Amino acid sequence: MTAHHTAQPPLRTDDDVFDRVSALVGRATADRQLWMMFVDGDDRQSPVVMPVSDMPSEPEPGTAAKLAQVLGGVREELTTDRGPGSVILTWERLGPDRPVSADRAWADVLDEACRLGDVVLRGMFLSTPGGTQRLRS
């Protein structure tokens, strides 16, 4: 990952983050995909948007630790004089638009991965065929 950033406006508010996720991920077209978006300490989104496909429908043991390694590996590159940077995570899946128990299980694992990787979670979202919604505040 490089320190270059998109020309898009900074992500200053929760609404900015939601709008960006809605624009970039939007309605689910793939099943069981995790999107990782990285934001530096100046609230600028990195051009690296990392979709991870073919994820299991429910998290497997060790998933949080594996994701924590990835997240922790970019932490230093996101840090600026203004702050530590953060990550935005979106769980994309087909099926019902309302959150289901597997979505909540993924949310728990993603929270744990951020904690283990010592990365600030800026937002967690769910993308379904009906659109994007906040999964966790």
Instruction: Quote the tokens at residue 73.
Output: 């590996």
Q: Please check whether residue 8 lies inside any domain of the structure.
A: no
Q: Please check whether residue 3 lies inside any domain of the structure.
A: no
Q: Which domain holds residue 23?
A: 14-136
Q: Please check whether residue 54 lies inside any domain of the structure.
A: yes
Instruction: Quote the tokens at residue 23.
Output: 């624009």
**Strands annotated E in 1-137:** 33-39, 45-52, 86-92, 120-128, 131-136
Q: Which amino acid is at 61?
A: P
Which pLDDT belongs to residue 91? 98
With 60 as the cut, is the pLDDT of residue 5 above it? no
Q: Please check whether residue 6 lies inside any domain of the structure.
A: no
- In the chain, how many domains are there? 1
Crossing angle for the helix pair 63-78 and 101-117, to the nearest 10 degrees: 50
With 50 as the cut, is the pLDDT of residue 3 above it? no
Which pLDDT belongs to residue 80? 96
| In contact, 54 and 42? CB cutoff 8 Å | no
Q: Please check whether residue 62 lies inside any domain of the structure.
A: yes
- The Cα–Cα gap between 41 and 60 comes to 31
Q: Please check whether residue 86 lies inside any domain of the structure.
A: yes
Span 113-126, pLDDT tens digits: 999 999 999 999 99
If residue 74 lies in a helix (H) or strand (E), which one and from where to where? Answer: helix 63-78
Give strand pairing partners of 88: 37, 123
Which pLDDT belongs to residue 34? 98
- The Cα–Cα gap between 76 and 110 comes to 19
Span 60-109, pLDDT tens digits: 999 999 999 999 999 999 999 999 999 999 999 999 999 999 999 999 99
The CATH number linked to 32 is: 3.40.140.10
Instruction: Quote the tokens at residue 45.
Output: 């989104």
Q: Please check whether residue 9 lies inside any domain of the structure.
A: no
Q: Which amino acid is at 62?
A: G
Q: Please check whether residue 4 lies inside any domain of the structure.
A: no
